[in-house]
Every structure is written in C-alpha cells, then in structure tokens.
Amino acid sequence: MKIEQYIVDAFAERIFEGNPAAICVLERWLPDELMQKIASENNLSETAYLVPAEDTYGLRWFTPNGEIDLCGHATMAAAYVVASYLDAGKTDIAFSTRSGRLTAISKGGIFYIELPAFCLTPVPAPASIVKAIGVEPVETFMGRDMLCVLPTAEDVKAVLPDLNEIASYDGLLFHITARGEDCDCVSRTFAPKCGVPEDAVCGSGHCHIVPYWSGKLRKAELTARQASPRGGTLHCRYANDKVILGGRCVLFSEAVIRL
C-alpha cells in the first residue's frame, strides 16, 4: 500500500514558520490503530487523514498520543492540499468531521476555515498554577481546554512551563493569553496530554481565545499572534458562535508512505 502524504506549514508566510501538519490522502479509512501508528511515527502535533467523497472530504485528526475532535491548523493544511493537489483551483471546500461539517474558503492566497466556538465557563485557577507557569492568571476559564488570561504579553512570552503540572489539570490542552502590544492578543498553547509540549500555532485553541477577546475588546475581527518559538499570525473573526480563522500555507514536503 502507498499513501500520499504532504507536510504543510499552516499560518505561515514561509517554511519553518507556523504549525506543520501531515496530510495523508486515503481512498478509504484505515484501521484506527494504523492511523495512530503513522501519526506517532510522524511525531508532529497533528497528522490528518483525508478521504474524498461526493461533495465533501472526510477528515480526521491524530496527535502522537491519540485522535482528537478538532484541529484548526491541520484543517487549514488539508484545505491547502485539496485546493493545490486533489482538486486544483477549488475555492470552497467542505469537510465531514467529528465536530460536524467544517468549511474552508480560499481567497487571494489566504485560507479561511470556519470552526465552532467553545463555550467558556469561569473556573478557579489550579492551586499550583504559579508553579506551573510562574505567574497568577487574571482570569481562568474552561471550555474543551483550560484558558488562563495573564497580565501582560511579556508574561505570556516569558513562561517556562512545568509540563508535568499542566498535564494534571482539567481540559485537553492548556492555553495562556494576554492583550497584544502590536496585535489584539497573544497566546501560547501546551499539550502534554497529546504528546506535544508546545503547539506552534493552535487553531482549536483560538476557538477559546477569540470568543474571549472578542467580548473583552468588543470587536468581531481580531489579529492574533501565537508567541511560540516558530510563531504564527491568525486573522480571526467571531460571529454566531463560530470562529473564522485565516492564514497562509506553505508546502514543506511531499512523500509516499509505504505499508
């Protein structure tokens, strides 16, 4: 068996920026165990699998440690692969996923993906939060993930996380965010439960971050910056409980997996 695989940097202007995702193109779903083994072998934050159908594409996302229900950057990377290789020139793309039907639009070299927003519930910060990130949050929320709002952008950039402590917290991922200096907001994402110490640019994380800052700043359109070592910029809009994320994609590699 041969599987076409593309590695795409999403939310990137050039290679080695943004967040890399492996996109595997299948004729039909493989056994879950095999898809997980491929994801673990790739050892990227996300390996996504595409199965073409009549008017949509089946899409599933796997971290090195397991399948998840939503991934923004791999969805954007999958849209790039469809528009560039599977159905060249296609500008409106639909995916059938565990989070329902997701759509992507390509316009002027930018891909826009529409994702469901997570409802945020205020919660107390964990008792060990200062040990985990070195600073007391201003506010803490729970959606699918935990979101901590820090006093300043510099606080976000300076965090040296205790990943063992973060892994003990509720939620799948752990996000920190603050008001930006030259953008609306900055953030970082840590995902030790998924085998990803720090995610380079997290689309699903912004399904928590964008609703928060949209309400706080009273604006629907935001420019967000992920302050990871690789870094990435997201053009965001929040409307009708949906988060629309825009960014560019760059192809890093094409390969054939032989099984």
- Rounded Cα–Cα distance for residues 23 and 193 (Å): 22
**Can you say how many angstroms the Cα of residue 158 is from the centroid of all Cα atoms in its chain?**
21
Of the candidates 124, 137, 144, 155, the one whose C-alpha atom is nearest the C-alpha of residue 203 is 144
Assign 84 to helix, strand or coil: helix
Q: What's at 207, amino acid-wise?
A: C
**Can you say how many angstroms the Cα of residue 144 is from the centroid of all Cα atoms in its chain?**
13
Backbone angles phi, psi at 70, to 5 degrees: -165, 135
181 is annotated as an active-site residue: no
Residue from 4, 33, 46, 67 carrying the catalytic annotation: 46
Instruction: Tell me the β-bridge partners of 253.
Output: 7
**Which residues, 6 or more positions from 54, have their beta carbon under 8 angstroms from its beta carbon?**
none
Between the two ends of the chain, the Cα-to-Cα distance in Å is 5
Backbone angles phi, psi at 89, to 5 degrees: 90, -10
Q: What b/e sequence results for 207-224 when a residue is b if at least 16 CB atoms lie within 10 Å of its CB, and e otherwise?
A: bbbbbbbbeeeeeeebeb
Q: Are 29 and 49 in contact (CB under 8 A)?
A: yes
Instruction: Give the count of alpha carbons within 13 A of 195, CB side only.
Output: 17
Instruction: Give Dmax over CA atoms of the chain in angstroms.
Output: 52
Active site residues: 46
